[in-house]
Structure 1
Amino acid sequence: MLPAPDSAATTPPPDYPALIQRVFAEMGKVVIGQQVLVGRLLIGLFTGGHILLEGVPGLAKTLAVSTLAKVLNLHFQRVQFTPDLLPSDLVGTMIYNQGQSVFEVKKGPIFANLVLADEINRSPAKVQSALLEAMQEGQVTIGETTYRLDRPFLVLATQNPVEQEGTYPLPEAQVDRFMLKVHVDYLKKADELEVMRRMANLSFQEDVQPVLTAADIQGIRQQINQVQISETLEKYIIELVFATRRPADYDLPDFAQAVQFGASPRASIALHRAAKAVAYLAGRDYVLPEDIKDVAADVFNHRILLTYEAEADGIRTQDLIEAILGKVPISS
């Protein structure tokens, strides 16, 4: 007689690659021609890294983040950053309850899994700095009490180019806490034609279905953590980071006096994690040099501060990054 089936047998894990493809498909229903942007958002989501999106208005930055929130079964909050926004509007404050003669905590919109900080550089530094503790420590202090934020917790911020009127440059300490800074560019002609046709249709409705849960995200993070990266490539990451600090040591004399501050140690960690995520999204369990190069610019471009003289001479951060990627060798 056959033994009875074990009711406590473990169920197979979900097919995460298939779920990720569904995420891309659902996002594609609304966000057209921004596959790289969607991929970067997923890299941040799956590695716990905050993302900063920069581009002129009208490039679907906010739409991409809000659509991603609909694809996730997570608590989502959007905060529109304006010049009159206060830190308490973001993290919360103490309110006096007259009936009970006690102070009560009113939590702000930062208490969510996914927080969209829309046009973050429209608010002054004191509001931007209110995000620091939440982004780095995953906690918020209101009054004398510290509150842990829910997991997962991710800040997806959008900003307009700093040259636009009414913007405030983000403090260096906060910028460094963003894992990636993604420049969102204009669409190709065919993609913009499709966007125009969809949005001009007054009967068009967003029909996006939720795909991933918090448990799925945790499972994907565990699989990404198991992606292998060789010691050679780990050393390559370190060489790239050091080249942003002292380009003259890497036979880049044109940039010898251009760098005021190079990438911080957070850049090494971010590039390591992001390269693993790129490999995972490509269906591999090991990292290739191309994975590192693919995401290096988004890791570096907001962490390198050029000198005033370099900017006056027309040297761009992107020029330095491209020179570093073309010059630094991969050696054992």
Structure 2
Amino acid sequence: MENAILKTGKKEKVNKKWQYIKNNKLLYVLLMPGLLLTLIFKYFPMYGVLLAFKDYNPLKGILASPWVGFDHFISFFNSPNFSVLLENTLKLSFYGLILGFFPPIILALSLNQIMSKKWKKRIQLILYAPNFISVVVIVGIIFILFSANGPINIIFNSITGENIKFMQNPDFFRPLYVFSGVWQAMGWSSILYTSALANVDTDLLDAAGIDGANIFQKIWHVDIPTIKPVMVINFILAAGGIMSVGYEKAYLMQTSLNLPTSEIISTYVYKVGLQQGNYGYSTAVGLFNSLINIILLIAANTVVKKLNDGKGL
């Protein structure tokens, strides 16, 4: 009797699910292209992860190549490059995360205080523009500005009589990389916060004004709580990609003299894999990088849940 009741209950649930799918079939049709693209470009390439556990031979293919287990990982962990690469990647990522997280929020809060829509649109246009400049052009601008004969050195030389080798000195690589990235992405990253601030209840702002709250108190007690969910989501996503430093900009900014701080895991994978042809070893290094990303994402979500009354992603 109980089994019959359970079977009946399961059938009803299945029927309800199919009925829901039928009623919303157009939504599932719209979902299909995105789902197919994700499967083709995200999940099918995971087959290549096998390279990390094999002594890959292009003539034999991935499946026929001999297994080596965790030898590539052990080689990487024991190499003198491991600690340097991990330190450079983590430092560059943490500096980018911390210094790049707050400027868009401050910018959005500042723009929200501008009463003139005309001036707000003009300022937004100027601030969003750097996001559409390619990485190659950004790096070119950096080299022009901070080269030995660049305008920065000309000004500095007129004051002190000395030149600073910005692009050759390893100590200047991280500040140039991080702050140029903040400048480029700050305006575009503030769009989400600007959109969230559009939903602020004006009655709350009026009530705060009647109670005698100044601009900063309104921002702290009304605006920031409104955009807090967006801040949490952005922080978790940024923390999850903390090891995913794009190799393009770092590789383009590298010189033979700043390698002690500019060589990161992604550039190392590019050099070892594509330039030297050591595909199995480079895949293992890349897989290690991805695993660290997953661990940091889970850790960040756990911390945010505890600080946010159990609410995370």
Name the TM-score, length of structure 2 as normaliser: 0.24
Structure with the bigger percentage of strand: 1
Larger Rg: 2
TM-score for both structures, normalised by structure 1: 0.23
